[in-house]
Amino acid sequence: MRGLQAAVAAMAWCLAGMTALEAQSTMRPPAALNTQYVMLVIADGVRWQEVFTGADASLMGKAGGVSDTASLRRDFWRDTPPARRAALFPFLWGTMATQGQLFGDSAGGSPARITNTMKFSYPGYSETFTGFADPRIDSNDHPPNENTTVFEWLNRDAAFTGRVAAFATWNAFSRIFNAERSGVPVYDGWTRGVAPSESPRSSLLRDLYATTIRVWPDVAFDALMQQSLLEYLGGHDPRVLFVGYGEPDEWAHAGKYDLYLRSARNMDAYLAQLWARVQSDPRTRDKTTMIVSTDHGRGWGREWTDHGKDVAGAEFIWTAVIGPDTPARGVRANTPVRQAQVAATIAALLGRDWQKAEPKAAPPLPIFR
């Protein structure tokens, strides 16, 4: 009991300390911003350990369910952490960390953490989209979100109405965004993955979604979703876009470290593809901010496959930002941040104050100069 009391006191102190630091480091966003488009990308369950130090040698064999260690080492093993992480996430390290900012270097004293105590997906996404943790959300089967997300709020703002959209492989996002109430079109899972269109590509994609083996009944493959998203972007010009990749979390739960790494590597390539597209279109070039993060962490060592209330370490995440209003400060030192700060960041980048509309929301990430 004494131990527990001490732990609770320490935690309260820690949270208070963090809020003070947060307040100190939260600068007001400049009055005039260049961002007109925001893209939020979440890679479900990708650990900060791999993001900051690359592949883990201890999991590249039997312990990680890997049979072909040689090819995995060839692709992802390098002698130093900076070389390893660049091999796994070339876009994150070659572009986002050099031209933008990266939060969550827990080993370097700059942790990014979730505020909710659940350490699994629905609570994490809801915290990300609303700016606060809602203790009522304690299951991935939670009904349509009672809370208004920053996406729904922006979709009601005349400047953004009809210019908000969400693509994801996990079929829970229709509930997390409360698609019905919010009016935000959510293309998720196996059966809602393709936006209505008569184009030949859309009909091919609908066939592939319908006929591909559903390894996970509730999560489609990221490769299909990427193509569906690209097809949508060919005919639409969303100003606020959510993209949710789900495979890394699924392969991790299955204990397949090779496929976890390969799906994380694919995610990085998808980011590069989206960013190249944004920067080659005069409508969006130098007017788009991309935020990339994860919904929760995972355990240490043998617990790498898991996350949840009782898994130590699964509260630590990471966040990367690139865009015309995010000075190139690279890996942010001594700057602890929270998952709850993403919602107000999205609004601030678009010249809106989410905390004014939702007083429970955390302040924006300290990305601005």
Binding site for Zn ion (CB under 5 A): 45, 249
In the complex with Zn ion, the residue whose CB is nearer, 118 or 348, is 118
CB of 259 to Zn ion, least distance (A): 14
SS3 label, residue 250: helix
For strands 316-317 and 330-331, give the pairing.
Answer: unpaired
Q: Which residues contact 213 (CB under 8 A, 6 or more apart)?
A: none
> Looking at beta carbons, which residue is closest to Zn ion?
249
Q: Which residues contact 105 (CB under 8 A, 6 or more apart)?
A: 48, 52, 111, 318, 331, 332, 333
In the complex with Zn ion, the residue whose CB is nearer, 298 or 338, is 298
CB of 307 to Zn ion, least distance (A): 6
> Could you please report the per-residue DSSP string of 286-341?
TSEEEEEE-S----SGGGGG--STT-TTTTEE-EEEESTTS---EEPSS--EETTH
* C-alpha distance from residue 19 to each of 14, 51, 317, 360 (Å): 9, 25, 18, 13
Q: Determine if residue 350 is left, alpha or beta; phi over 0 gives left, psi from -120 to 50 gives alpha, anything else beta.
A: alpha
CB of 255 to Zn ion, least distance (A): 12
In the complex with Zn ion, the residue whose CB is nearer, 249 or 315, is 249
CB of 2 to Zn ion, least distance (A): 34
CB of 281 to Zn ion, least distance (A): 34
